[in-house]
């Protein structure tokens, strides 16, 4: 069954031409999809016969909100999204002074194996299609009081491990006849796939690239991020510098602070030396507790931030949102998988 959310406006025109329908039907359906309408029956400017025909051969988005969890301490909402094949991913809606942001998933599961992340437990199931990513944004936007204006690809999965689909997704949500979200309002986070970073640098995009760094030396990074054995810092950091030189865009380095592991003055000094001279910013994140992992969050975030600033490295401590609803990556999906397993026993 075709997921029409995967289609660009031009591709939809071709699709409707095959069905013997006029080209303007494509624009109508594209608009409905990007407004988060989950059913053809709700697309009221289409003839009933066409709505019925489309429902037989296609789906408007291939996803639905299965469950939502509202934080009691802030305005964060976490959504468990059920896909057409029964798999689950997560999306998180966060409210900031500059508008609503959605953090979305790019894969079902993940094969990167980062030691502090629940998303990778169980490995990679499959990549998400562009339309399944569009559906997350559209559904979350429609469910809130104000439309989503910012997107971060930092949920379940490694975006650059699903490169072509992520790139098409960016083009789709940027389309002015759909969600029309500017590229400068889209952030893509990677654990450091050097080939993908170099490829992305040549795409002429206005997005923000974020690097999950979390350690400033290979010995420590190898312990928590297996990808570092394939792409060590000696290859990753030069790729980041090439990206900045080519795009003239600042890179955000994400650094999850783990108690007694990467939060010392020596770590701050090594991180400063590693990034010196690059147009970048460090986003410090006290690591989120994950039941299946042993990492403890550092209590030195503010202090560590000052250590970086003293060394002329731009840094902030990320505002923590939704801590009471397992809002960090992969935890909600993990709980659902455990429940389904228990129900089968």
Last residue of a domain, one of 61, 80, 105: 61
Q: What is the per-residue pLDDT for 141?
A: 96
pTM of the full predicted structure? 0.93
If asked whether residues 139 and 172 sit together in one domain, one would say yes
Distance CA 103, CA 173 (A): 14
Instruction: Convert the pLDDT of each residue in 75-123 to its tens digit.
Output: 899 999 999 999 999 999 998 888 899 999 999 999 999 988 888 888 9
DSSP state of 255: E
Query: Cβ–Cβ contacts within 10 Å for residue 187, how many?
Result: 18
If asked whether residues 109 and 214 sit together in one domain, one would say yes
Q: What is the per-residue pLDDT for 247?
A: 97
Instruction: Convert the pLDDT of each residue in 194-204 to its tens digit.
Output: 999 999 999 99
If asked whether residues 91 and 172 sit together in one domain, one would say yes
- Residue 78 near residue 92 (C-beta atoms within 8 A): yes
- Which domain does 22 fall in, by range? 1-61
Distance CA 308, CA 315 (A): 7
Q: What is the per-residue pLDDT for 213?
A: 98
Mean of pLDDT values over 30-58? 97
Q: What is the per-residue pLDDT for 187?
A: 98
- Residue 324's SS3 state is helix
Distance CA 168, CA 36 (A): 18
If asked whether residues 149 and 32 sit together in one domain, one would say no
Cα-only R_g, the chain: 21
Q: How confident is the model at residue 334 (pLDDT cuts 50, 70, 90)?
A: low
Tell me the C-alpha to C-alpha distance, in Å, between residue 30 and each of 15, 171, 254: 12, 13, 35
DSSP H stretches of helix in the chain: 9-18, 24-34, 48-57, 130-143, 163-174, 194-201, 218-224, 227-230, 233-247, 265-275, 301-310, 331-344
If asked whether residues 124 and 212 sit together in one domain, one would say yes
Instruction: Convert the pLDDT of each residue in 293-315 to its tens digit.
Output: 567 889 999 999 999 999 999 99
Instruction: Convert the pLDDT of each residue in 251-290 to its tens digit.
Output: 999 999 999 999 999 999 999 999 999 999 999 998 876 5
- In this model, does residue 4 exceed pLDDT 70? yes
- Residue 165 near residue 136 (C-beta atoms within 8 A): no
Q: How confident is the model at residue 21 (pLDDT cuts 50, 70, 90)?
A: very high
Kindly list the catalytic residues.
90, 329
If asked whether residues 122 and 138 sit together in one domain, one would say yes
- In this model, does residue 219 exceed pLDDT 70? yes
Q: How confident is the model at residue 343 (pLDDT cuts 50, 70, 90)?
A: low
Q: How confident is the model at residue 74 (pLDDT cuts 50, 70, 90)?
A: confident
Q: What is the per-residue pLDDT for 115?
A: 86
Which CATH number fits the domain that encloses residue 222? 3.20.20.70
- In this model, does residue 321 exceed pLDDT 90? no
- Number of folded domains in the chain? 2
With CA atoms as reference, report the closest residue to 189 among 296, 307, 285.
285
Q: What is the per-residue pLDDT for 224?
A: 94
- Residue 100 near residue 147 (C-beta atoms within 8 A): yes
Q: What is the per-residue pLDDT for 326?
A: 61
If asked whether residues 41 and 145 sit together in one domain, one would say no
- Residue 102's SS3 state is strand
Average pLDDT of the chain is 92
Mean of pLDDT values over 27-51? 97
């Amino acid at each position: 069954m075709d997921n029409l959310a995967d289609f660009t406006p031009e591709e939809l025109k071709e699709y409707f031409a095959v069905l013997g329908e006029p080209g303007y039907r494509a624009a109508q359906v594209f608009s409905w999809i990007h407004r988060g309408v989950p059913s053809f029956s709700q697309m009221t400017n289409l003839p009933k016969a066409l709505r019925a025909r489309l429902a037989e051969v296609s789906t408007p988005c291939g996803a639905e909100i299965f469950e939502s969890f509202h934080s009691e301490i802030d305005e964060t909402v976490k959504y468990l999204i059920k896909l057409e094949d029964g798999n689950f991913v997560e999306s998180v809606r966060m409210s900031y002074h500059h508008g609503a942001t959605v953090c979305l998933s790019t894969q079902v599961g993940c094969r990167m194996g980062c030691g502090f992340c629940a998303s990778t437990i169980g490995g990679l199931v499959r990549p998400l299609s562009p339309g399944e990513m569009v559906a997350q944004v559209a559904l979350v936007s429609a469910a809130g009081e104000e439309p989503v204006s910012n997107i971060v690809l930092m949920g379940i999965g490694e975006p650059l491990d699903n490169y072509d689909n992520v790139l098409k997704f960016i083009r789709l949500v940027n389309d002015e006849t759909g969600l029309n979200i500017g590229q400068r309002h889209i952030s893509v986070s990677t654990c450091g796939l050097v080939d993908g970073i170099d490829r992305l640098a040549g795409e002429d995009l206005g997005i923000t690239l974020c690097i999950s760094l979390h350690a400033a030396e290979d010995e420590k990074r190898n312990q928590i991020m297996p990808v570092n054995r394939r792409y060590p810092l000696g290859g990753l950091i030069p790729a980041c510098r090439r990206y900045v030189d080519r795009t003239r865009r600042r890179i955000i380095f994400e650094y999850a602070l783990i108690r007694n592991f990467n939060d010392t003055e020596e770590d701050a000094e090594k991180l400063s030396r590693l990034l010196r001279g690059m147009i970048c910013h460090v986003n410090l994140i006290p690591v989120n507790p994950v039941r299946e992992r042993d990492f403890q969050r550092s209590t030195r975030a503010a202090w560590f931030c000052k250590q970086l600033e003293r060394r002329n490295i731009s840094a902030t401590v990320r505002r923590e949102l939704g801590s009471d609803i397992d809002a960090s990556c992969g935890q909600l999906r993990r709980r659902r998988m455990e429940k389904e397993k228990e129900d089968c026993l």
